[in-house]
């Protein structure tokens, strides 16, 4: 098993699944569409570019790509204006369009 220290960005191809066990992090969609199922949460969460999801400590998650997706993993609570501006800039560069960031409550 690999362990990475945030922040980092990675790509999932359409249809790929990732079993996630590192908690207390925020997963932000830079480009593409993903869904997340987290242990102990009865809902599936669908995220679009600019949206984020809090991955809880001790709650394994399954992340699936609905289409090719770029995802950014950040330390939980890193929601500063500067980080949001950098995420929006990266989204514009990767997708060629501006998006408004939103958060899906988990």
Whichever domain contains 26, its CATH number is: 2.60.120.10
What pLDDT score was predicted for residue 98?
54
Contact predicate 29/71, CB 8 Å: yes
List beta partners, residue 15: none
pTM summary value? 0.67
| Tens digit of pLDDT at every position of the chain (106 positions) | 556 667 888 999 999 999 988 778 899 999 999 999 988 888 999 999 999 998 887 778 999 999 999 999 888 765 544 555 566 666 667 766 555 555 555 4
Is residue 3 situated within a structural domain?
no
Q: Which residues does 62 contact at the CB level (< 8 Å), separation at least 6?
A: 17, 18, 19, 20, 36, 37, 38
Is residue 12 situated within a structural domain?
yes
Domain count, the chain: 1
Residue ranges making up the domain that contains 51: 8-99
Is residue 54 situated within a structural domain?
yes
């Amino acid at each position: 098993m690999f362990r990475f220290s945030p922040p980092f960005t990675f790509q999932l191809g359409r249809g790929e699944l990732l079993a996630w066990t590192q908690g207390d992090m925020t997963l932000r969609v830079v480009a593409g569409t993903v869904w997340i199922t987290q242990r102990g949460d009865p809902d599936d969460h669908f995220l679009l570019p600019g949206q984020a999801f809090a991955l809880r400590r001790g709650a394994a998650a399954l992340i699936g790509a609905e289409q090719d997706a770029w995802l950014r993993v950040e330390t939980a609570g890193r929601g500063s204006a500067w980080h949001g501006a950098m995420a929006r800039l990266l989204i514009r560069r990767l997708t060629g369009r501006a998006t408004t960031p939103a958060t899906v409550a988990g």
